Structure 1
Amino acid sequence: MSDEDFRKQLEGGGLLTAEVIYYRPDFPKLLQSFVWQTVDIAPKFPRLAQFLDHWRRDIEAVIHSINIAHANLLRPAQVRFVDEALKIEKLH
């Protein structure tokens, strides 16, 4: 996981899994599946929107449908800073 993904999780992002069902223009009856994961922020999903814009613009395949799943893995309320540390020393 990159530092950018961790920062987005602290801002309320969570793991997004998107399954894109698509077909190639030369084989419209053959549906194919592409699964993509990223950290994104619900409910607007800006990274998913950016990915789909790229798909529509640069990939020669027509999107049939998209299935998404999103889970908040880490929220700011789950992070707590402490001022104390416990040191455990190995006994011989």
Structure 2
Amino acid sequence: MEKSETELMLRGYGLTTAEFFYRMPDYKNVINTFVWQDYDLAPDHPKLFRFIEYWQDQIEGPLHSVRFVHRKMISPGEWRNVVGEFTYH
């Protein structure tokens, strides 16, 4: 069963965005881009590196370079359980 995005963030996952620069198979002088996003664990980034391996094995366009950023949306110290809420006008 796949976990929700909130469960992943509470387990330490963050949003990883990668921009792939690759050469067109028939036109080696043309560089194109592809953007990939998924929730991944820093600093090892297992999902990102698995996708890079998939690209190198299955896709004809050879990679030129990869640029990525990782943003942790929620960290364990930032989340707290709120039991009640009081409003004051």
Flag as ranges the 4+ runs of structure 1 deviating above 6 A. none
Larger strand fraction of residues: 1
1:44 aligned onto 2:44: yes
Cα offset for 1:6? 2.4
Listed as ranges, the gaps of 5+ residues in structure 2 are: none
The aligned residue for residue 80 of structure 1 is 80
- How far apart are the structure 1 equivalents of 2:4 and 2:57? 26
Cα offset for 1:65? 0.2
SS at match of 1:61: coil
What TM-score comes out, normalization by structure 2 length?
0.83
1:85 corresponds to which letter in structure 2?
G
Please provide the CA RMSD for this pair.
Answer: 2.0
The aligned residue for residue 22 of structure 1 is 22
What TM-score comes out, normalization by structure 1 length?
0.80
Larger helix fraction of residues: 1
Question: Which stretch shifts more, 65-74 or 7-16?
Answer: 7-16
- How far apart are the structure 2 equivalents of 1:4 and 1:44? 21
Higher Cα Rg, which structure: 1
The aligned residue for residue 69 of structure 1 is 69
**Identical positions, percent:** 34
Listed as ranges, the gaps of 5+ residues in structure 1 are: none
How many residues were matched structurally? 86
